[in-house]
Amino acid sequence: MACSKKENQSAGAKTAEATKFAAPPNTLVHTYLADLTLNPIIQNESNSREFCEMIYPKLMREEFDTAVGLITYKPLFATRWEARNGNREIVFTLRRDVKWTDGQPVTARDWLFSYELYADTVIASIRQNFISENFLAQKNGEVDLKKAVEIPNDSTLIVRFRKPMPIDLMCKYTNLPFIAAHIWKEVKREDFRKSDFNRNPEKLIGCGPYKVEKWTPNSECVLVANRSCNLPAPPKIERIVNRVVQENTTRLTMLRTGESDVLQAVPPEEAEKMKKENPNVQILPRGQVVFLYIGWMNIDQNLYNQSKKIQPHPLFGSKKVRQALTYAINRQEYLDGFLRGYGELAVTDVVPICRWAIDVELKPYPYDVEKAKALLAEEGWKKGSDGILEKNGRKFSFKLAINKGNKGREFLAVLVQKNIKEVGIDCQIETIESNVMSEKMRTRELDAFIGGFVVAPPDVDPSEIRFSDLEKTPYNFTCFQNKRVDELINLAKDELEILNTAKYWKEYQRIIYEEQPETIVTWSSPLIGVSKRIKKAIITPVATFDQIWEWEMEGSNVAEK
C-alpha cells in the first residue's frame, strides 16, 4: 500500500528528530533506572549481572534450547570438561592464553579465589548456596574448599561435589563470573562489600569483551572495548554507556529521539505506540523469563534479624492469609491493563518455557473476593469499627514497597491497594530508590514488596530462592520455610538425567501453589527497545545483551580497526 505525502513527511520528521539527538558514533547508550554493581560476587539484580558478564566472563557460554526447554553449555574459558568419579567431580581444561586487562595471566587460581568469596558468609553473595549446598563438605556440613577445589596446574580446574549429580547442575554451580585474585586478595572480607575497589575502574580488572573506562556514580558508567579480548573476541561496538535515568517517561523519550539505543522493559502500551510512530526503534521480545510477584514476609523478620529465631509473621505467617491475598487481587486486570497480553497469569515460579517440568494440572488462582473473605475469617480476622480487619488487637495494615521509576509495579501497587481494601485490609504504598530497596530486600527489612525475578538463563532449579537455610540462601527474600521443598531440591540433584527430575519439580509446584509464599502475578516477556542503528542485536532468554561481542553499529567496527 502506498504511503500518503503526509505520512512520508511525518516519518521524515521523526527520523530528523532522532538524528538531532543521536547518541555518539560507535557508542551504545543504555538507559536504566538504577546504577550498576560491577562486582559479580555481590551484584544482586539482572542489569548488573549482564554488565558484569561483559567484563568478567564465565567458564562456559550458556545457550537455551527452546525445543527442549533446557540450558546447554559451550566452551569459553574452559575448552572442554568431563564428569568423573561417578559424577562426583567435574574436570575443566582451561585456556592458557587469556590475560587480565592489566596484563597478568588468568589462571585456575583465580577461580579458587572467586569460589572462596562466593562461599564466604560474611560477604553473603546471592550465589553463596551454589557453593555451600553443593561443593564437597566436611562432616559438619561446612564446605572444605581445599578439598572441593583442586588446581593441579594453571590450566586445570577440578571441582568435587558432596554427592553425584547431573553434569548440567555441575556446570550451573561452577559457571560463575570470576575476579582477579591478585587485585582483590588484600581486601578484608568484612570490607569487601563497601570497598572503594567496587567503584574504581583501575581495580575492576576483567578479561571480557569490555573494561570500565570511567564511572560517575548514580549518573553513568562507560565501558570501552577490550581490544585484546579473546573470550571469545573483541567486540564490534567501541563503547557502552549505562546511563542512570530514574524517570520512566524520560527513558522512553530518550529512546524515541535517539539519545539512547537500548531500553529494557518497555511498557507494552508504549511498545505498541513505538511500532507505529517510531521507525528508528525496533521492539524485540526476550521470551517469558520474568515473573512479577508480591512478596509477603513469611516469618517475623525483626525477631529473626535480632536472634535468628523463626516464628510466623504476625500478618502473613499463615498460608490461608497468603491464599486469601492471592484470591483478593485481580491479576487479570494487570495482565490486560498493563501487559496488554504480553504475558500470562502465573501459577508458580517454574519458568513456563521449561515445558518438560510444568505441572499442567495446576491452574491460576481465580479472582474471588468472597473466598478471600472466608479464608481471612477462618484465621480469626474480623472487621473493626473503621472497616479494617483486626485480630488480637492488631489491625491488618502494612506498607507495600515498590522501587521508584517502575511503571508496571506502580500500576500493580495501586491495583493491590484497591483490591485488598475490599476485603478489609489497609495497604499504604511506599516508593523507594531501586538500590536502597534491593538492599532492604537482601537484609529482609520489608513486610511486603513488589519484586520481579529474571530467570536467566532459564532454569527450573529454585535452590537459590527456596532453601530454608536463610544464612545460606540470601535470595529467599520472603523467608519461606518448607522442609519438603528442601528435600525435593536435593532429590532432583540425585538424578543423573535432568529430564528425570520432572516428578520432583511437579511436586514442588504443588507445594508452592498451596503455600503461596508470595503472590506470583504474571510471567511475561520483557520488551526491549533497540535503536535500528544497532545491527545484529542478539536478544535471547539467556540475556538481553547475549553475545554482545557480535553486536554491530552503523558506520563503525572496532574489531576491524
What digits encode the pLDDT tens for the residues 157-188?
A: 999 999 999 999 999 999 999 999 999 999 99
Q: Give the separation between CA 110 and CA 462, rounded to whole angstroms.
A: 27
- Record the cell numbers describing residue 339, joined without a space: 501487559
Q: Residues 83-98, buried b or exposed e (16+ Cβ, 10 A)?
A: beeebbbbbbebeeeb
Q: Are residues 399 and 501 in the same domain?
A: yes
- Classify residue 140: in a domain, yes or no: yes
Q: Give the separation between CA 510 and CA 512, rounded to whole angstroms.
A: 6
Q: Are residues 376 and 252 in the same domain?
A: no
Q: Are 390 and 382 in contact (CB under 8 A)?
A: yes
- Classify residue 226: in a domain, yes or no: yes
Phi, psi of 3 (to 5 degrees): -85, 145
Residue 497: per-residue pLDDT: 92
Phi, psi of 547 (to 5 degrees): 50, 50
184, 200, 224: which is the final residue of a domain? 184
| pLDDT averaged over every residue in the chain | 93
Q: Is 223 helix (H, G, I), strand (E, B) or coil?
A: strand
Residue 141: per-residue pLDDT: 85
Strands 527-531 and 552-553: unpaired
- Classify residue 202: in a domain, yes or no: no
Half-sphere exposure for 301 (CA within 13 Å, toward CB): 21
Percentage of the chain lying above the pLDDT 90 cut: 89
Give DSSP secondary structure letters for 484-514.
Answer: HHHHHHHHHHH-SSGGGGHHHHHHHHHHHHH
Indicate the DSSP class of residue 23.
P
With 60 as the cut, is the pLDDT of residue 10 above it?
no
Overall size of the chain counted in residues: 561
Residue 78's alpha-carbon distances to 71, 99, 232, in angstroms, are 17, 14, 11
Residue 9: per-residue pLDDT: 45
* Mean per-residue pLDDT, 205-230: 97
Q: Are 193 and 442 in contact (CB under 8 A)?
A: no
With 90 as the cut, is the pLDDT of residue 331 above it?
yes
Q: Are residues 232 and 338 in the same domain?
A: no
Q: Give the separation between CA 351 and CA 39, rounded to whole angstroms.
A: 27
Q: Are residues 511 and 373 in the same domain?
A: yes
The closest of 519, 488, 156, 43 to 323, measured between CA atoms, is 519
Q: Are 96 and 231 in contact (CB under 8 A)?
A: no
Q: Are residues 317 and 250 in the same domain?
A: no
Residue 474: per-residue pLDDT: 86
User: For position 213, which CATH number holds?
Assistant: 3.40.190.10
- Residue-wise pLDDT tens digits, 55-108: 998 999 999 998 889 999 999 999 999 999 999 999 999 999 999 999 999 999
Q: Are 459 and 430 in contact (CB under 8 A)?
A: no
When pLDDT is cut at 50, 70 and 90, the band that residue 230 belongs to is very high
- Which residue range forms the structural domain that includes residue 101? 60-184
How many distinct structural domains can be found in the chain?
Answer: 3
- Residue-wise pLDDT tens digits, 515-558: 999 999 999 999 999 999 999 999 999 999 999 999 999 876 55
User: For position 387, which CATH number holds?
Assistant: 3.10.105.10
Q: Give the separation between CA 190 and CA 235, rounded to whole angstroms.
A: 36
Q: Give the separation between CA 461 and CA 491, rounded to whole angstroms.
A: 11
User: What does pTM read for this prediction?
Assistant: 0.85
Q: Are 395 and 314 in contact (CB under 8 A)?
A: no
With 60 as the cut, is the pLDDT of residue 559 above it?
no
Q: Are residues 263 and 303 in the same domain?
A: no
When pLDDT is cut at 50, 70 and 90, the band that residue 5 belongs to is very low
- Classify residue 189: in a domain, yes or no: no
Q: Are residues 518 and 531 in the same domain?
A: no
Tell me which of 322 and 475 has the higher pLDDT: 322
- Classify residue 87: in a domain, yes or no: yes
When pLDDT is cut at 50, 70 and 90, the band that residue 375 belongs to is very high
CA triplet 424, 429, 435: central angle to 5 degrees?
145
- Residue-wise pLDDT tens digits, 437-488: 999 999 999 999 999 999 988 999 999 899 999 988 888 999 999 999 999 9
Q: Burial, 204: exposed, middle or buried (Cβ in 10 Å; 0-12, 13-18, 19+)? A: buried
- Classify residue 199: in a domain, yes or no: no
With 80 as the cut, is the pLDDT of residue 213 above it?
yes
With 60 as the cut, is the pLDDT of residue 12 above it?
no
Q: Are residues 90 and 142 in the same domain?
A: yes
Strands 290-296 and 78-84: unpaired
Helix or strand holding residue 515 (H, E): helix 502-515
Q: Give the separation between CA 113 and CA 381, rounded to whole angstroms.
A: 52
Q: Are residues 254 and 275 in the same domain?
A: yes
Percentage of the chain lying above the pLDDT 70 cut: 95
Strands 534-535 and 552-553: antiparallel
85: left (phi over 0), alpha (psi -120 to 50) or beta: left
Q: Which residues, at least 6 apart from 476, have a Cβ–Cβ distance to it below 8 Å? A: 465, 466, 467, 468, 470
User: For position 86, which CATH number holds?
Assistant: 3.90.76.10
The closest of 394, 405, 379 to 447, measured between CA atoms, is 394
The closest of 33, 118, 70 to 452, measured between CA atoms, is 33
Phi, psi of 209 (to 5 degrees): -65, -25
Please report, in angstroms and rounded to a whole number, the separation of the first and last CA atoms in the chain. 43
Q: Give the separation between CA 49 and CA 463, rounded to whole angstroms.
A: 18
* Mean per-residue pLDDT, 6-34: 65
184, 200, 231: which is the final residue of a domain? 184
Q: Are residues 14 and 134 in the same domain?
A: no
